[in-house]
């Protein structure tokens, strides 16, 4: 009781505050999401995500080398697929010479110690912009899982360290684990998007890949039949526990800042590392506010990343990874 106890004694100056600080950040806490485009020497800034680019493989490799030198040790990669390669089956997703597979090989050849976690979902390859195969107006769960297994195995063959299923189909982690093991890839891990909510924060990401659901007859125009209802908490714990039981090596909560209660709940429930995706909309809001002078960009960036780590994240997938790493290294 006061006056015997005075909390301010431990806040007197920065040296004392640093001694008792409960949470810390380092560049190795970050994973950098990267968007890959066809061609050579291609670099196109995403208008809704200032400072983030779609890059061709050659420029992606150069960026990977740069961020590795900053201490970042993981990348989560996505591809923008040409319209003529899209269909309702995802066939291009497991093309051994596809854009994703070639990107994985190029990154691992140039920077073998960088951990590469390619996205596993059909939306970049779908004419409908959905994460699965459409039949009779619905996203088919089990046939989609079959396609995802082919996709994941092709990623492993190209050299991926982990596969990162973001589709939210039921049972896909088990099917992926069985498929990878049957193909001899026992050491390729699975980072599952376990609690991925049907969120409006993904808008800029869909701009980056042109992967928003299309408005077509009898086709859902949102992803609410497979992504989670943002009103739910217990469901997130259940989904994460199921994925761990099915063989997930890491689980993810997505989005980040608006879902820190879920991060802590999942962290308390599972015995595997928890990844948090600090998503495109969260990034874009900070950029927009900072451009208008409403917020201090670097201070808000670091505060949000620290809060995600404090909530229980073992790894933070964030578009701020490079900027934050540069700041931390100073």
Count CB-CB contacts under 10 A for residue 104.
26
Distance CA 224, CA 222 (A): 6
| Known active-site residue 254 | yes
**Which of the following is catalytic: 86, 196, 267, 287?**
196
Greatest pairwise CA separation for the chain in angstroms: 73
Q: CB–CB of 151/120 below 8 Å?
A: yes
Burial (CB count within 10 angstroms: exposed 0-12, middle 13-18, buried 19+), residue 253: buried
Q: CB–CB of 66/121 below 8 Å?
A: no
Q: CB–CB of 276/254 below 8 Å?
A: yes
User: Count of residues for the chain?
Assistant: 330
Distance CA 242, CA 236 (A): 10
| Known active-site residue 150 | no
**Which of the following is catalytic: 86, 254, 309, 322?**
254
Query: Catalytic residue numbers?
Result: 196, 254
């Amino acid at each position: 009781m006061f006056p015997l106890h005075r909390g301010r004694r431990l806040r007197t100056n920065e040296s004392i505050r640093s001694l008792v600080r409960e949470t810390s950040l380092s560049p190795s806490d970050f994973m950098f999401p990267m968007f890959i485009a066809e061609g050579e020497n291609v670099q196109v800034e995403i208008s809704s995500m200032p400072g983030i680019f779609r890059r061709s493989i050659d420029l992606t490799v150069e960026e990977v080398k740069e961020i590795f030198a900053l201490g970042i040790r993981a990348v989560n990669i996505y591809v923008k697929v040409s319209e003529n390669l899209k269909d309702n089956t995802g066939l291009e997703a497991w093309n051994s010479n596809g854009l994703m597979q070639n990107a994985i090989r190029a990154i691992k050849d140039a920077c073998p110690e960088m951990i590469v976690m390619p996205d596993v979902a059909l939306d970049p390859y779908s004419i409908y912009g959905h994460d699965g195969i459409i039949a009779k107006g619905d996203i088919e769960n089990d046939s989609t899982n079959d396609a995802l297994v082919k996709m994941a195995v092709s990623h492993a063959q190209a050299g991926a360290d982990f596969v990162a299923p973001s589709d939210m189909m039921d049972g896909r982690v088990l099917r992926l684990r069985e498929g990878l093991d049957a193909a001899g890839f026992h050491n390729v891990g699975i980072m599952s998007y376990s609690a991925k909510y049907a969120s409006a924060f993904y808008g800029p990401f869909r701009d980056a890949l042109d992967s928003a659901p299309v408005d077509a007859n009898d086709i859902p125009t949102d992803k609410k039949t497979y992504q989670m209802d943002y009103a739910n908490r217990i469901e997130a714990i259940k989904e994460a526990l199921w994925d761990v039981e099915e063989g997930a090596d890491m689980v993810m909560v997505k989005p980040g800042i608006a879902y820190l209660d879920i991060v802590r709940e999942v962290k308390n429930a599972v015995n595997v590392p928890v990844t948090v995706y600090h998503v495109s909309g969260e990034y874009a809001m900070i950029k927009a506010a900072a451009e208008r002078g409403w917020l201090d960009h670097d201070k808000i960036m670091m505060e949000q990343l620290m809060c995600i780590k404090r909530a229980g994240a073992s790894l933070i997938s964030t578009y701020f990874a490079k900027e934050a790493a540069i700041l931390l290294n100073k």
